[in-house]
Amino acid sequence: MKQTNLIICILTVLVILNSAQNFAQNPEVPENQIFKTISGAIKVLPFSPSEVVLNPSWIKQREALNTNYLHQLDPERLLHNFRVNAGLPSSAKPLEGWESPECGLRGHFVGHYLSACATLIAKDGDALLSKNISYMIDELAVCQQKMGGKYLSAFPESEFETLEKKYGGVWAPYYTFHKIMQGLLDVYTLTGNKNAYRILLNMTDYVEGRMSKLPEAEIEKILYSAEANPTNEAGGMNEVLHNLFAVSKDTKHLKLATVFDRKWFSQPLADGKNILSGLHSNTHIVLVHGYARRFENTHETDYRKATENFWDMLVHHHAYVNGSSSGPRPISTTPTSRIAEHWGHADHLSATLSGEIAESCVTHNTQKLTANLFCWTADPEYADAYLNTFYNAVLPIQNKENGAVVYHLPLGSPRTKNYLKENDYKCCNGSGIEAFAHLNSNIYFHNQNNLWVNLFIPSEVNWKEKGIKLEQTTDFPEEPKTQIKISAEKPTPFALKLLIPSWANAQTLVLVNGQPMKTKIKPASFVTIDRIWKEGDTVELQFDYQFHLKSMPDNENVIVLFYGPVLLAFETDKELILKGNSEEILHSISKQPNEFSFNLKNNGTDYKLVPFYQITKTSYGVYATIRNEY
C-alpha cells in the first residue's frame, strides 16, 4: 500500500466535520485497513460528500439557496483586500461589513468561502465554483509571493505585532488566519489543488516563525482569552494545525499545533471541572475541536476526556432545548456581553432569553463536535442530539425564501429573526455558508459490517465497498415515517442500524419488506436489522408523534412545546404567558387538518403554532411562561 493512500485514509477520519466530512475516502484502500489504522479512536466513519446525494425535497431546496448565493459572489471582490494588502492593483469594488477595508477581520469570510465551495465541488463537481476557486488560489499565491513568500492575509503584519506587544488591541488576527488556512486545507484535501497546499505550508511557516521567537510566558498572555469578547480570539488555530499534521506527518506541524492547545482551558475540562461560565462561546468551542484532533493524532487520553466532558457540560448544562447556546455573560463588562455570545452559570437559563442568544456559529460548531463524538463512540445520545439541533436550531437560522441567515436565534417572546444582509459578511454569514453546504453530511455512517441511518432525509448513499446503495424516501419530519430501499449487486450481509430518537414511543414500528419486525422500541437507541440484504429489499420506520413539553432546568414554569421531533413556535407579537398545568396545556393543543400547523387555546387566546424552521418574518415566541397566580 502506498504511504500517500494510508495518509488519505487517516485524514478521512482526522478531519471529520472540520468542514463536515472534509475528504473523500480513497476506494483503492481496503476498508478493513482503514479501521485497522484508526482503531482506538474511531468506531464509525461518515460517508464522503460524493457518496451521499440529496434527492429533491425542501432540504435540498435549502441547500440550493446557499449554492445560488455562492455562485453570485465575485472572486475579484473577494480578492480585493488581499491584493491591496500585498501592494497589487485592484479595480474591484471593496466588500462591505466585516470584509470592508477598515475591518480587522477582513479576509475571514474568504476562508469560509473556500471551505464551502470545496465541499460543493467534491459533492457534485460544481463547474462554476471549481473555476472560481482555481482562479482565487492562483491569485492568492501571487499575493503571498509579493509579501515575501510566507505571509498571506488581507490585513498587515502589524496586527500581529500589536497583539504581541499589547496581548490585544486588535481584532483577532489569528482567528482570521485560521479561517484562511482551513479554507486552503479544505481546497487541497477536497479538490486536490496543490497550490493551495503550498500556500498553506508557507503560512504555517510564518506562524511558526513568529511563535518560535516568543517565550512561553508571552505566548500564554497572547492566547489567554477568558475576558469578555476577547480581541485576541485565536479561532481554531490548533484545529487546523492538527488537521495539517494528519496530512503532512511533519512533526513541526504537531509541535506548532500544541502551542495553541492551552492548558488553562484543556486541563480543567479533562478533570471534569465546568469552567464555561463567563467564557466567550465561539472562542472556546473551536479550541475543543482542536483537542479532538489532537487526541485522534496522538491518542493522549486527557484530550479525549476534555472533549467529551466539554460536550456534556455544554449540552446538558448550558444549552437551550434545541441544542443552541450562548447569551448574556454573568459579569458583563462590554455591551455585547450583556446580551450575547457568552455562556452563563450552569443550569441557569430562564433569565437569559435576550434577543441575541444562540449565536449561529456556536450552533454550527456544536454540530461538528457532536458528529465527531458519534464517530468515536457510535453512541445514540450524540445522534439524537444531532437530529434535534439539525431540525430545531440549524435549519431555523436560514430564511427559507432567500437563504439569508441570522447571527442570533432568539427563543423568548416576542422575538423576530433578524437576517443578515448579503453584504454583512459577519462570522455567521461564513459559518452559515459552510453549514448549508453540508446538508448531506452525517445522514449515514458505517464501519466494516454496519451502516447507521441517523437522519431521515430524502437521499441516496453509495456504500462502494459493499456494492450497496440505499435510497431513503420521506417527508420527515412533517411525515412521521421513512422508507429505505436497498440496491445490492449481490446478496450481502450487513447490519442496518436505524436511530430511534428520544421522543419516540413504544408505538414506533419497523417493517422489513412490509412485515412488522418483532423488536422492543427503546428511545434514544438504535434498532438493528442484521440480515443478508438483496436487491429491492425495503425497510420502513413509522413513528407515532405526540405532543410533549420541556422546561428550563432552573424554572419548571418556563416551557417549550414539541410535536414529535419538531420544536414549535407560537406566532405572536406579545409575551407568552400561559395558564394551567402541563397536562392541561398539552391536552389543549391540536393539529390542524391537512397542514403541518397547530392550535392552542389557553386563557381566552387562540394561538397558532408552526415548526420553528418555518418561521421567517413573523413575530414569534418559543419559550412560554406558565403563571397561575390568583
* pLDDT (tens digit per residue) in 126-162: 999 999 999 999 999 999 999 999 999 999 999 999 9
pLDDT greater than 50 at residue 431? yes
Residue ranges of the alpha helices (H) in 395-473? 427-435
Burial (CB count within 10 angstroms: exposed 0-12, middle 13-18, buried 19+), residue 76: middle
Residue 577, beta-bridge partner list: 625
* The pLDDT of residue 629: 83
Domain match, 211 and 74 both: yes
Domain match, 31 and 129 both: no
The last residue of one of the domains, among 521, 542, 563, is 542
3-class SS of residue 16: coil
Domain match, 19 and 66 both: no
Percent of the chain with pLDDT over 70: 94
Domain match, 536 and 573 both: no
Task: Produce one character per residue of 565-600: b if its CB has 16 or more CB atoms within 10 Å, e if not.
Answer: bbbbbbbbeeebebeeeeeebeebbeeeeeeeebeb
What does the pLDDT look like over 45-94, one tens digit per residue?
999 989 999 999 999 999 999 999 999 999 999 999 999 999 999 999 99
Domain match, 89 and 212 both: yes
- How long is the chain? 630
Domain match, 175 and 90 both: yes
Domain match, 80 and 209 both: yes
Domain match, 82 and 134 both: yes
Domain match, 87 and 143 both: yes
What does the pLDDT look like over 258-281, one tens digit per residue?
999 999 999 999 999 999 999 999
* The pLDDT of residue 591: 96
Residue 274 lies in a domain: no
Strand duo 598-602 + 589-591: pairing: antiparallel
Q: Total domain count for the chain?
A: 4
What does the pLDDT look like over 284-343, one tens digit per residue?
999 999 999 999 999 999 999 999 999 999 999 999 999 999 999 999 999 999 999 999
Average pLDDT estimate for 371-389: 98
Percent of the chain with pLDDT over 90: 93
Domain match, 563 and 621 both: yes
Q: What is the mean pLDDT of the chain?
A: 93
* The pLDDT of residue 16: 41
pLDDT greater than 70 at residue 29? no
What does the pLDDT look like over 432-479, one tens digit per residue?
999 999 999 999 999 999 999 999 999 999 999 999 999 999 999 999
* The pLDDT of residue 40: 57
Strand duo 598-602 + 605-611: pairing: antiparallel
Q: Which domain holds residue 22?
A: 1-39
